[in-house]
Structure 1
Amino acid sequence: MLRPIVVGLDGSRESVAAADWAAREALLRGLPLHVMHAWEGLPSGEEPVSLPELAVPRCRAQRILRYAVDHLDENHPQVPVTAEQIRESPVPALLAAAKNAELLALGNQGFGGLGGLLAGSVAMAVVARARTPVVLVRAGSDAVDEHVPNGSHEASATTPYRPVVVAVDLHHACDPLLAFAFEAARHRAAPLHVVHAWRLPNTRGGTDEQGHVPTQRDAEWVLESVLEPWKDKYPQVVVHATAEHGRPVPAVSRAARYAGLLVLGREVRHGVLGSRTGHVAHMAIHQVCCPVAVVAHE
């Protein structure tokens, strides 16, 4: 059975953009799309609604789903769409839905902004806890933004896709991250840019455990050795790998400027500190313009 792409809706411009992105992604992957709206204050269908303060929110919730389905049917008629209204708090509802999804798409409001709940604190809480990849999409994000400009430097949805950029930290497991990134690049017939920011060890003399001072060539060799089996598995994907000495945040920020999709990792933590997003992903969610995919890994 095909696992759907799931998108959470709250009526904001960000969540509509996420639904459009999710529909395009579903078409690329040949998957169904499931749209959902969750709100714990929603009366159940069996309960009579007589008070205006209950009837108005219920009508709004139904309108959010109805508008989204009509919008998707009109703009993405090739994609099978199902819809669901859930009487539950958004965070646990989205996390439960994500368990059976290929990926989860949500709106992203970045800094400031007046987006809805699913583009703000709820989205951040879901990203920090979901094991399924979560893609965050900004309001105004359109199909043309995923493609390179045409010969006249004009936006076009018929030109090749912009690169998929993935940032890797070779001190952690990269397999889930690289699997998602290579698949995304394959579906788009897009080049894959792999970015690794490395720094000297925080020891006297900058040496590693063997007393060796790492060099640029060492970083490039390690990165290439990690990518080699993935290149063999995905020979159709053109890979550009960059090992850059310095801090990861500026390196990722620069690489993402011309990306159609940015893929980042989130380390799963099992201790008392709980889950966290990580400073690179936190920066990207708030500053990067293209859709950002956050992939959990051990």
Structure 2
Amino acid sequence: MPARIRPELYFVGSAVFHYLGPAFAVLLFARVDPLGVAWLRILSAAAVFALWRRPWRAWAAASTAERHTVAAWGLLLALMNVCFYLAIDQLALGTVAAIEFAGPILLAAVALRTVRNLAALALAVTGVGFLAEVSLDGSPAGFAFAVANMVLFTGYIVIAHRVSRHQRLSGIDGLATAMCIAAVLALPFGIADALPAFGDPVALAAAIGVGITSSVIPYVLDQLAMRRLARSTYALMVALLPATATVIGIVVLTQIPSPAEVIGVGLVVAAVTLHREGGGEAATVSGPARRRARWRRRVPDTPP
């Protein structure tokens, strides 16, 4: 069944849940400081993955190279969440989102192969420009955390895409393992700020909601999408995130978009529609798999 679903739909699902998480985080911010929220989000997601996937079994069967990659992903997830929450604590969410988009744009630009995809990239950048509420007013530390989050988010795309193609510690099992590692690595950053939440049932429930809607569902859908999308295609589709936020505001909150927001959504949708994966990237087939396929074409199967 999953193979019949277009990978773009998985990404759209990820984008929708990406913006449901902050609704719970708003409730948490009134009770828990940002570093505590970051760790509670990772911890609750790790608990869900541990119960669901039993990731230690995949870890035991993995190669050394796969373990190193997933461990690096766990470190990246820990730092990315910490930087993100410290950034949005000091800057407008729209500003942080716009800065975050710069890294994926570079990833998409590096893999450009055609004029068509260059035009798609230009449309995406323009559309995000219409949608993003960028303000240069704010704390210098906030901008520093936002830039760090952008670098880490770009690394997330690179490593998550690589893990989606692993042989043993792959996909959701790789994600589950990385999230458990992230929970341990982020503990020194957030445990002190998170302690009050363990005596507050509302805050604890909100933390579980943040973990599921921000780190479980969207990251799982990311893995399902990345397994069948080229990295540059996924990077370009990140432009759908602010567009999705605008659409959710219309449908759920009955917020009337401005003319600029309508134009921005239209440009982003046009960019994703226009983009085509190039043959040079080998979106879903690894190098060894391509070599085996070429060998099979040269040497026909012998009948039994």
TM-score (norm 2): 0.25
Task: Select the structure that is richer in helix.
Answer: 2
Larger relative CO (CA 8 A, sep 6+): 1 or 2?
Answer: 2
